[in-house]
Amino acid sequence: MPALSRRSLIAASASLPLLPALRPEQARAQAPWPTRPIRVVASYAPGGGVDVPTRLLAEPMGALLGQPLVVENRGGATGSIGAAAVAAAAPDGYTILSDASGQALNPALMTNLPFDYATAFAPIGRVCTLPQVLVVLPAGPGSLAALMEAARKKPGMTYASSGIASGPHLAGAVLSRRASLGLVHVAYRGSAPAMQDVLAGAVDMAFSTTPQAVPLIREGRLRPLAVTTRERLPFLPDVPTVAEGGFEGFDVNDWVAMWAPAATPAPILDRLNAALNQGLADPARRDRLLNGLGVLPTGGSREDLARFVAEQRVAMREVVRAENIRIE
């Protein structure tokens, strides 16, 4: 084989077609993924309505993806502290967010955030809907009607929630206004500490998402008075809806969904979405979510979540305005 001179090599290389350089996101998409554990930032406190379903789903998702999903709680400020951490993370699929309705509410409440909810995240999929239940101590009022009567006789009764502008806060605010009860809201950093103060008698009642409230109801430590869904729940069939108490159309619930930083490659998002849906499809997992935790498994496509949250943001702006909710 004849030897090639340096000049001929240069000439030959100049004749080769130029290939476009890979953009960073293309390089990430083509790299093997995942090759290490995936961090899941849960935007509320341990033991609450976001944390518990997230941890239950993290196990099968990790098994399907071949790497564990490690849940890290970053609660506070209606989920915005955890959301900010993920918004600033590298869009490489190794940090994702499990968040609640703050994704829809916070844009209407907070003006000085270091990120924009509408552009900072790429949707992965919905995990579940979290119905809410109004609870009191067993020695408290025996029905929603009895509680409303007591509240009118004793102005300033308190109700706990998992945080300002959380689903439980909104449920209490809407009921208080519609029933002219004058309830006083007491916000906590998550459902677990809110329930602790209800059990201690430090507050009169609470709206709570079902994962935290249902075990305490089954143990007889709390009495449920009403649920916030349009229909009764299959795991609390004897508990009436708020709507049955005379408040037609009352339907104020929370939800959990997963997100990744914006610019995360679509192939990674698709794999995360597939793992989420496969995890939710497992019969034992669905039974644990529905009958064990008292949440309604959701799932769906990334596009479904994007449409849902866009609609929720419009609706929540109206609720915030009507209820005059402010972040102090």
Range of the domain at 108: 37-129+254-323
* Domain edge (last residue) among 190, 225, 245: 245
% pLDDT > 90, the chain: 66
Determine the pLDDT at residue 251: 86
Verify that 122 and 136 share a domain, yes or no.
no
Q: Can you say whether the dihedral through the CA atoms of 317, 318, 321, 322 is positive or negative? A: negative
Determine, yes or no, domain membership for 57. Answer: yes
Phi first, then psi: give them for residue 240, nearest 5 degrees: -70, 165
Residues 84 and 227 in one domain: no
- pLDDT at residue 22 tops 50: no
Burial class (CB in 10 A: 0-12, 13-18, 19+), 23: exposed
Distance separating the N- and C-terminal Cα atoms of the chain: 81
Last residue of a domain, one of 211, 245, 279: 245
In a domain, 7, yes or no: no
65 has which bridge partners?
A: none
Task: Look up the CATH number of the domain holding residue 88.
Answer: 3.40.190.150
Residue 29 forms part of a structural domain: no
Residue of 118 and 8 predicted with greater confidence: 118
Q: Are 209 and 132 in contact (CB under 8 A)?
A: yes
The pLDDT tens digits of the residues spanning 238-282 come to 999 999 999 998 988 889 999 999 999 999 999 999 999 999 999
Contact partners, residue 266, CB within 8 Å, separation at least 6: 29
The answer to whether residues 178 and 269 belong to one domain is: no
- Check whether residue 211 and residue 106 sit in a common domain: no
pLDDT tens track for 199-233: 999 999 999 988 889 889 999 999 999 999 989 99
pLDDT band at residue 30 under the 50/70/90 scheme: low
Edge to edge, what strands does the sheet with 205-209 contain?
184-187, 158-161, 205-209, 132-136, 223-227
Residue 24 lies in a domain: no
pLDDT of residue 31: 66
pLDDT in tens, 40-79: 999 988 887 789 899 999 999 999 999 999 999 998 887 8
Residue 55: Cβ-neighbour burial (10 angstroms; 0-12, 13-18, 19+): middle
Rounded Cα–Cα distance for residues 51 and 188 (Å): 15
Instruction: Please determine, for residue 25, whether its predicted confidence score (pLDDT) is greater than 60.
Output: no
Examine the fold and report which residue of 187, 214, 245 is the final residue of a domain before the chain moves on. Answer: 245
**Alpha carbon separation from 312 to 67, 116, 307, 326 (Å, rounded):** 33, 16, 9, 18
In single-letter form, the type of residue at position 293 comes to L
How far is CA 228 from each of CA 19, 102, 109, 210, 253, rounded to the nearest angstrom? 58, 18, 23, 10, 6
Exposed/middle/buried for 326, CB within 10 Å: 0-12, 13-18, 19+?
A: exposed
CATH of the domain at 157: 3.40.190.10
CB 45 within 8 A of CB 193: yes
Question: Which is higher by pLDDT, 1 or 218?
Answer: 218
Give residues with Cβ within 8 angstroms of 123, minimum separation 6. 257, 259, 269, 302, 303, 305, 306, 309
Most confident of the following: 41-50, 138-147, 155-164, 181-190: 138-147
* The residue type at 150: A
User: How high does pLDDT run on average in the chain?
Assistant: 88
Same domain for 272 and 230: no
Whether residue 140 is contained in a domain is answered as: yes
pLDDT tier at 12 (50, 70, 90 boundaries)? very low
Is 148 in contact with 219 (CB distance < 8 Å)? no
Least confident of 25-29, 45-49, 190-194, 230-234: 25-29
Q: Give me the number of domains the chain comprises.
A: 2
